[in-house]
Amino acid sequence: MNIYDFTVETRTGEKLSLSDFKGKVLLVVNTATGCGFTPQYEALENLYQKYHNQGFEILDFPCNQFGHQAPGSDEEIHDFCTTKYQTTFDQLKKIDVNGPTAHPLFNYLKTNAPEDYIHGIKNIMAMKGITKISKTYENPEDIKWNFTKFLIDPEGHIVKRLSPIENPLILEEDIKKLLN
């Protein structure tokens, strides 16, 4: 089993098979529009602009499970992202990533990449604080907060799980290697 075995919904409610992305490098992210990490959209768009034409895609899944920081409709979230951060990658349908209503894709990602990459003691301490306020974080592999990032290789395997606190730009070298 790999990521290509899953189907998700677009923000307009259409089914999207992740097998459509075979051969591409993917970054799967759970996001929120009202989070302290929301400015990461800028870095995500930067990566998308640089590498999209080489086979890089971002799968952006808004999630309202952490501090209710993605309260809008799918269309409102899309409008916010395109207006405030000029994103050109699309947002998918809002989902849950933890608990009994978690999307099967995120259950798979959490099970197969249970630990976040966190660089530096400052970030480790910050994530400990965030973990304490998360109402849906129950199991060690659970998503701790908005903007957890999963890097997927062209064969559909998880390469890295990046902590919410880490800037997506630190994945640039990994993305370049996977594209070559």
Active site residues: 35
Distance CA 20, CA 55 (A): 12
| DSSP 3-state of 91 | strand
Distance CA 61, CA 121 (A): 28
Distance CA 51, CA 112 (A): 25
Residue 7 contacts residue 17 (beta carbons within 8 Å): yes
Residue 38 contacts residue 46 (beta carbons within 8 Å): no
Closest CA to 21 of 156, 112, 178: 156
The DSSP output letter for 20 is G
Backbone angles phi, psi at 43, to 5 degrees: -65, -40
